[in-house]
Structure 1
């Protein structure tokens, strides 16, 4: 009876709890604890960060910077006779890289400052996660360039060195005593040597082969497809064949860079599609890397155009999206031990 009376009383009472029920229904996740919501939110944030981190980085393996005229007057003078005719200051470069979606770059010491690395060193220190430095080897006969190379690597954190054969003393080759010592030192310190064969690979192929054979622990970078244009005569076919045969040295990498210098056609330099296909077939995409040659490329096709040309060329081959990723950044990241991820 007591139970029946209590039920009757509840049925006759006004529904005071109903407004509360309605309020609860307007909060669809009120039953989820604060802790659970925090965990879910953190997981979503982590997933977003992982998605951003997994986006392939675009790395430019070959460009230059030099002082603006004001910087040259104040602190970083040009080498006499090597005054630039194009703007190449770091602020202009950063603007170009942002517009093109390029994440990082290897700065090659420009001839405009010759062996004075102070301008490039200042840029490396200001933007340590953006840029990696390639210094210029000084082949002075007194051997002073060997110590300079060591200091630039160990003290100023340069991660590569460029051999310009046209800076060697007249009548001497890169395989002379000083050249061998610098090449050996580079391998000892774990930095690659880049070769600039502007006057033709055929003039320097024997030196490169000799150094690669004697010092297999020194990685090698061949700038600008070793300056091999799509061959149209026997001499050029021999040079391009020599380039492909360098793939037998596992430490040799090719820069698919400064396309305007090695193409016979205007942008987008489609005659390089066959050259790229053969280089990738011989070396593998994981030993090929894109480079712009900023700022020289700017009046040719623009910095952004330098990047876009590669995709257009690759589409004509065609190469896989994975191979394109290697060329546009993964090769450089691997070779330079993820310097741009720090």
Structure 2
């Protein structure tokens, strides 16, 4: 019997897990978006962009708008990743998580070696629900201090707070992180955006793939390219390889929200990525779209 696209999407995104014998209701798996950004917008006097921010989005992408899109798209929880325009000023993230009332958690951004970072990180972790501390390595002028005590100290501080380390990097910089992944083997490491497979040489990306051998590394299927959009990169081979290397218990989905999002467009992005996971079982897709994240981040 053939399966229509509508039937497949229903299976991939709303799998009935169990029936409640008393109520007759069907439970559906939790859905978590593990990667999105919120912005107050350019010119907002209460939440201004940092002078060192590399870009400044003009339009707001607010937590109120996010929660509305989540409700319409069937997303139960979301992780707000603190974006670079604010640098290490987390006031807007605090605002968003307060508005979220348990539906939202956050990833913070601090810089190794910057004075006061450790104290600010500890204070922020006391005030708001965080899941990770993010470290960037893609701008040659703003690389972390690889091989130096400052980077180890930041990693250790994140670990001691019970948070994951979240890495956003180009594959050519992966080598600089590997020793810390091995040293702090009990600390979860989240890799953003499929490890950015289309930026750099294939050999550089092979190192990222090799991290599947470390049990503490989790890969995020976020910012998954759409082959219909420029520059027309087909993500299917990469996604399939990641599912083979990491398995559903160490893969998490994220994406689809921005200032222009609607409930319909937000859900459509999840449907698109579900199509790339058609080779997996219903149970494994349920893990990737929320089960894994719910377990790691203690959601629901």
Normalising to structure 1: TM-score of the pair?
0.73
Runs ≥4 residues deviating over 6 A: none
SS of alignment partner, residue 150 of structure 1: helix
The partner residue of 1:329 within 265, 290, 297 is 290
Name the structure where strand makes up a greater proportion of residues: 2
Match of 1:47 in 2: 22
Distance 1:270 1:111, change over 3 A: closer
Distance 1:155 1:283, change over 3 A: same
Deviations 1:119-151 (A, max 9, x none): 111221232321011100222443x21221122
Deviations 1:217-260 (A, max 9, x none): 2210100001113x9xxx63213322221011100000000113
RMSD across aligned C-alpha pairs, in angstroms?
Answer: 2.9
Whole-angstrom CA distance in 1 between matches of 2:243 and 2:275: 16
Structure having the higher Rg: 1
Match of 1:222 in 2: 191
Matched, 1:129 2:102: yes
Whole-angstrom CA distance in 1 between matches of 2:295 and 2:140: 31
Match of 1:241 in 2: 206
The aligned length equals 278
Distance 1:289 1:124, change over 3 A: same
Ranges in structure 1 where 5+ consecutive residues have no aligned partner: 1-43
Distance 1:185 1:64, change over 3 A: same
Deviations 1:151-196 (A, max 9, x none): 2223333221110135897675344222111111222221111111
SS of alignment partner, residue 333 of structure 1: helix
Deviations 1:86-122 (A, max 9, x none): 4311222222222221111010011122211111112
Distance 1:194 1:296, change over 3 A: farther
Matched, 1:184 2:147: no
Matched, 1:165 2:150: no
Once the 2 structures are TM-superposed, how far is the Cα of residue 304 of structure 1 from its aligned partner? Answer: 2.5
Once the 2 structures are TM-superposed, how far is the Cα of residue 326 of structure 1 from its aligned partner? Answer: 0.8
Whole-angstrom CA distance in 1 between matches of 2:151 and 2:193: 21
Whole-angstrom CA distance in 2 between matches of 1:192 and 1:87: 28
Distance 1:297 1:332, change over 3 A: farther
Normalising to structure 2: TM-score of the pair?
0.82
Name the structure where helix makes up a greater proportion of residues: 1
SS of alignment partner, residue 196 of structure 1: strand
Distance 1:228 1:167, change over 3 A: closer
Q: Is contact 1:139-1:169 (8 Å) kept?
A: no
Once the 2 structures are TM-superposed, how far is the Cα of residue 277 of structure 1 from its aligned partner? Answer: 1.6
Matched, 1:79 2:42: no
SS of alignment partner, residue 153 of structure 2: helix
SS of alignment partner, residue 195 of structure 1: strand
SS of alignment partner, residue 307 of structure 1: helix
Greater relative CO, 1 or 2 (CA 8 Å, sep 6+) = 2
Matched, 1:156 2:128: yes
The partner residue of 1:266 within 229, 252, 256 is 229
Q: Is contact 2:144-2:151 (8 Å) kept?
A: no
Ranges in structure 2 where 5+ consecutive residues have no aligned partner: 1-18
Whole-angstrom CA distance in 2 between matches of 1:95 and 1:329: 19
